[in-house]
Amino acid sequence: MSSVEEIFNDMAQEYDDLSDLWYSWFFSRLHYFIANKIIHKNNKKKVLDIGCGTGFQSYLYSAAGYNVIGIDIANNLLDIAKQKNQIFNPDRVELFPEYYDYVTRYNQKIRKILKKKIGNIKYLPPKFHFGDAQNIIYNDSDFDHINCCGSTLSFVPKHKKAISEMARVLKPGGTFLIDVEHKWNFNFLWYILDPLVRGKLQINNSIRQGLKFLAKKFTRNIWINFPFGEFNNPVNMILKLFTTYSLKRDLMKYGLKVEKKFSIHSLTNLIPCTFLDSLKPSKKLVSLFKFLAKLEEKLPCYLPGSILVLYGKKVK
C-alpha cells in the first residue's frame, strides 16, 4: 500500500476540486466555525497550520491578518498552496469552487464576518514549508494558535507524538483547533453492515474487520483500512478513528484543554460516506443530502458525527 505522503501527492491536482458532497460540506462548516468563533477584530496572531494541504485554512486565517505558516508532508500539495498566492483575493474569500448553494451561502457568511470583525487590515500571504506533525522544526512557544484540520491526526502514525509537538510550539494561553475522524457515528454502522450486503457499500468487505471493530473497548481508538474516492477506483488508506474521550485525555496530558466541541456530518452520514465522496453525485443524492444538511444545521452541534472538531487552550 502506498504511503500517506505518496497518496496525497498523487491526488494534488484534484484536491481543490470539491464537487463531492462529503468534503464540500465538511470544509464549509469548518471554515464557518473558524471565521465565527476564532478570528477576531484586530487580533493578529501567529498561526501554525499543520497538515495544511493546499492551504484552505491557511488562506482563511491570512485573510484576517494573521501571520500564517503552513506545513505538510506532501510537496505537491504545498506547490499548489504556494501558487495560490498569485490568485487569492483576501477581499473575496473563496477557498474552493462553489459547486453547491450551501458552499456559496457559507462563503457569504464568512465574508460578512471578516468584513465586520476585521475591517481594513494588512494582508500577509501565508508561508508554506515541508514539515512533519511528529517532528515540528519550530521553537518552543513560537505560535499563538495551532490549526490541525482535514483529519490530519487520523493519518499520523503516532498521534500522541504529534500532540506533544503541538503543545511544545504553542504559547501558554494559546489556542488550538483540531478535527479528526470520529469513531462513533452512523458510518460505523455501515462499516459493520457492509459485509452482510456483500460489500455493496464498498466500505468494508470483511466480517472479521467488522467484528474487530465491535470487540474494541468503547473508549478505544481504532485503525481501519478505508476506501477514499470513486466506487470504481478507490484509494485505500489506513485511518485512525478517535473517540472523544481518548482524544480529550491525550490532549490534556500535554496541557491542551478542550473548551468547545462540535461535529460535522452528524446527520448527513445517514448516507454512506462512500456515496458522498463521489465527484459526480446524482441529482437525487444531492437533493437528499441537502435535505439532511438543513436538518443537521438545526440539530445540536455536539451530537456524534463522522468528524469531531475540538477547540481549546494550552493551560500549562
Domain edges within the chain: 4-182+242-314
CA-CA distance, 9 to 77, in Å (whole number)?
6
pLDDT at residue 265, rounded to an integer: 96
Closest CA to 197 of 281, 189, 227, 240: 189
Write down the architecture of domain 4-182+242-314 according to CATH. 3-Layer(aba) Sandwich (3.40)
pLDDT at residue 235, rounded to an integer: 74
Q: Is 155 exposed, middle or buried (0-12, 13-18, 19+ CB in 10 A)?
A: buried
Beta strand 46-50 pairing with 143-148: parallel
| Spatial contact of 63 and 123, defined as CB atoms under 8 Å apart | yes
pLDDT at residue 155, rounded to an integer: 95
Other beta carbons within 10 angstroms of residue 223's beta carbon come to 12
pLDDT at residue 182, rounded to an integer: 94
126 CB-side CA count, 13 A = 37
CA-CA distance, 72 to 55, in Å (whole number)?
10
Closest CA to 123 of 41, 65, 83: 65
pLDDT at residue 1, rounded to an integer: 44
pLDDT at residue 116, rounded to an integer: 80
Q: Give me the phi and psi of 232, to 5 degrees please.
A: -85, -5
Instruction: Give the residues of the chain that fall short of pLDDT 50.
Output: 1
- Report how far apart, in Å, the C-alpha atoms of 245 and of each of 180, 196, 221, 287, 310 are: 13, 30, 9, 35, 12
* Residue partners of 128: CB distance under 8 A and separation at least 6: 52, 55, 58, 69, 70, 71, 72, 78, 81, 82
pLDDT at residue 191, rounded to an integer: 72
pTM of the predicted model as reported, rounded to 2 decimal places: 0.93
pLDDT tens for 180-211 read 999 988 777 777 777 666 666 666 556 666 66
- Amino acid at position 141, single letter: S
